[in-house]
Each structure stands twice: as structure tokens, then as C-alpha cells.
Amino acid sequence: MNVLLTGFEPFGGDGINPSWEVARSLHGQVIAGALVQSRCLPTTFAEAPRALADALAVVRPGLVIALGLASGRADISIERVAVNLIDARIPDNAGEQPRDVPVRADAPAAHFSTLPVKAMRDGLRAAGHPAGLSLSAGAFVCNQVFYELQHQLAGRGLCSGFIHVPALPEQAARSQPAVPSMGLAAQIDAIKLAIAIALSGDAPLAPLPDEGAPVS
Ligand code: PCA
């Protein structure tokens, strides 16, 4: 069985994106009997959905985890819901900055992750990794890819979803004030464990959010 693990190229003028560094380092590894196939997605609204579709067609995975950087977040952030909305706060890598448009016209308002999100959060925490659930993947390219992933795989019974990772310490050192950060080795360990947990269970549809946290 193949696991598709995607990361993104650097964006917003940065020279590195931990999501791709994590994915790249796990490429070719066998986790719980499954082969990890990593792909780097362009951080552009125009190209990312096609690159994702190509990766799905080639890798034919049984599990898909898409990774992205969420600068400012302190933990491994397991996303629960992708919304059918693009509202870019900065230009993408092609200079495009669409505002208030759907990811897909005439498509559902949202899709839930089909990863075992709570088992992943609890397993990561038990292993000493800061991890939490998130009710918003934003409205930039990460949310677009998450939405496309869940939309393209809807009804296929596959386990798929999105995880945001924090900035690297070197990125935090360049920001003023410093954003929270997590070292690359810790991020790699956490995502490896997240894959193992997702592979170990069934793929239950995430129930409705019950944590009472406001969507920001
Ligand atoms: N993070 C951005 C896009 C690429 C990435 O790694 C986001 O959160 O939308």
C-alpha cells in the first residue's frame, strides 16, 4: 500500500518550507508496511490542484496526508474541515491573490477530514509531541489543496486529510517577534507517528466538531 505525503514549496518570500522538508525526508520509507511516496506541490492556486490530481493518479495511495506550514501555530495542527473558499491574504507564488471565490463552483461548502483525527492527536500527545485539532486550514493554498483532496476522493473510502506544521526554529529566528517553532527532527518524528496511527485504524468519518472552539 502506498501513502501519498505532500508538502509545499516555499512561499511568501521564504526560502524553506518545513512541510516539504518533512515530506522529503520520509520519501521511500516504509511505515507499518506501507510505502511513503512524497510529492512537492506548487504554492499556486492555478497549479496545486492539478499537481495533486497527478500525484493521486500516479501513486494510487490508500492513505493521503497533505502537509503545509502554518507560521504562528505552536503545535502539529490536525485539520478537521476544508472550506469551499479562497481568500488569499498574500499573493501565491504566481503573484495571484484571489479574494472571496470558491475553490470549486457548485460544490459543497465544506468537506471533513477522513483521517482518525482524535486518535492521531491523542497518540501524538502521548508520545510527547505537541498536537491539536484545528477547525480552519485558512483560506489560502493549503485549504484549497485540502478541499480538492477531500472532494476528489469523496466516496472512495480512502483515508485522507491535512496537517499544518509550525515554523522551523531558523524561520522563527528571522521573524520579529519570533513565531513559535518546532525543530525539523521533531516534526519528522511526529508526522511519521501520525502516518502509523492513520494506518493502524479504520477510516472513520470525523464526527461533528465537539470542542466548542470558535472558528477563526
Ligand atoms: N502553507 C500555506 C500554503 C503553503 C503552505 O505551506 C497555507 O497554509 O495555505
Mean pLDDT of the chain: 94
164 is catalytic: yes
Is residue 203 scored above 90 in pLDDT?
Answer: no
| Atom of ligand 1 at shortest range from CA of 8 | 6
Reported as a single tens digit per residue, the pLDDT across 155-178 is: 999 999 999 999 999 999 999 999
Is residue 214 scored above 70 in pLDDT?
Answer: no
Q: What is the mean pLDDT of residues 59-67?
A: 98
| Atom of ligand 1 at shortest range from CA of 11 | 4
C-alpha cell at 78: 490536525
| Atom of ligand 1 at shortest range from CA of 92 | 3
151 is catalytic: no
Grid cell 486550514 in the structure block, residue: 137
In angstroms, what is the span from residue 194 Cα to ligand 1's centroid? 19
In angstroms, what is the span from residue 1 Cα to ligand 1's centroid? 27
Is residue 207 scored above 90 in pLDDT?
Answer: no
- Pocket flag, ligand 1, residue 140 (CB < 6 Å): yes
Q: What is the mean pLDDT of residues 134-155?
A: 98
Longest Cα pair distance anywhere in the chain, in angstroms? 45
Residue 202: predicted pLDDT:
54
- Pocket flag, ligand 1, residue 120 (CB < 6 Å): no
In angstroms, what is the span from residue 138 Cα to ligand 1's centroid? 9
Position with higher pLDDT, 205 vs 45: 45
Is residue 120 scored above 90 in pLDDT?
Answer: yes
Reported as a single tens digit per residue, the pLDDT across 86-106 is: 999 999 999 999 999 999 999
Domain assignments of the chain as residue spans, ordered by start: 2-200
40 is catalytic: no
Asked if the 2-200 domain carries CATH number 3.40.630.20, the reply is: yes
Taking CA atoms only, the protein residue closest to ligand 1 atom 2 is 142
Is residue 216 scored above 80 in pLDDT?
Answer: no
In angstroms, what is the span from residue 201 Cα to ligand 1's centroid? 28
Q: What is the mean pLDDT of residues 104-119?
A: 98
Residue 10: predicted pLDDT:
98
List the single range of 107-121, 134-148, 181-195, 201-215 with lowest mean pLDDT.
Answer: 201-215
Is residue 18 scored above 90 in pLDDT?
Answer: yes
Residue 201: predicted pLDDT:
76
Of 21, 111, 148, 164, which residue is the catalytic one?
Answer: 164
Per the CB < 8 A criterion, the answer to whether 59 and 74 are in contact is no
